[in-house]
Amino acid sequence: MVTVLLVVVLALAVLVLFGFVAGYNKIRAADITVSEALSGIDVELTRRAALIPALVHTVQSFATHEQAILDRVSSAKAALASATGGTSVAQRSAAEQNLDNALAGVLALGSSYPQLNSSNNFLDLQKNLADTENNLAFARQYYNDAVATLNRLVGTIPGMYVAPLAGVSEREYYRTPK
């Protein structure tokens, strides 16, 4: 009788250990996926920021007296570059919003300067920015999906007991700039 009880207790202990290891690995993998998805957003934000100097140069050659708008774009680009190095998703989103607002002013100059709108460089840059924005939207969605998976794992049993031991906590969603 004692042997059977010992075997049952040992089998339960092994099952609990396997469950813990599987849960730990699943939560760590989800956390890595979230980090990878956030770096995907950073790649697209960096790509977008890399297009800014060419855009500013192209606009500057047509609209030299619009320096305030161009300076605003340059400072927004610098703020975005600073935000992508940090860990705060909210800071990235706010910097992206600031850059979006600054870019809107530059792109609006196209209607004020018809010769700018007919410039191949300006049109190519607009196309590249639109492509980057599409990639960025996909990267944001991928990140939010990864966060949803992680938060679901961390917020349910057994993950809520394993997550603190794995050093993983819920992550914040990426808020789209408005």
Torsion region of 64: left, alpha or beta (phi above 0 gives left; psi -120 to 50 gives alpha): alpha
> Which tokens sit at 27?
């939560």
8 in a structural domain: yes
Q: Is the pLDDT of residue 26 over 90?
A: yes
Would you say residue 14 lies in a domain?
A: yes
pLDDT tens string 82-103 = 888 777 888 888 888 888 888 8
Confidence (pLDDT) at 177: 66
Per-residue pLDDT of 43-61, as tens digits, reads: 999 998 888 888 888 887 7
In a domain, 48, yes or no: yes
Report yes or no on 37 lying in a domain: yes
pLDDT, residue 178, reads 64
Domain count, the chain: 1
Examine residue 177 and state whether it is found in any structural domain, yes or no: no
- Whether the model pTM is above 0.75: yes
CATH number for the domain harbouring residue 85: 1.20.1440.20
Question: Does any domain span residue 19?
Answer: yes
Q: From residue 149, give the alpha-carbon distance in Å to each of 59, 143, 154, 165, 172.
A: 43, 10, 9, 18, 12
CA dihedral 25, 85, 128, 119 (to 10 degrees): 180
Of the listed ranges 8-12, 55-59, 113-117, 169-173, the least confidently predicted one is: 113-117
**81 part of a folded domain:** yes
Q: Is 178 helix (H, G, I), strand (E, B) or coil?
A: coil
Question: Domain residues for 123?
Answer: 1-166
Contacts of 170 (CB under 8 A, 6+ apart): 150, 151, 154, 155
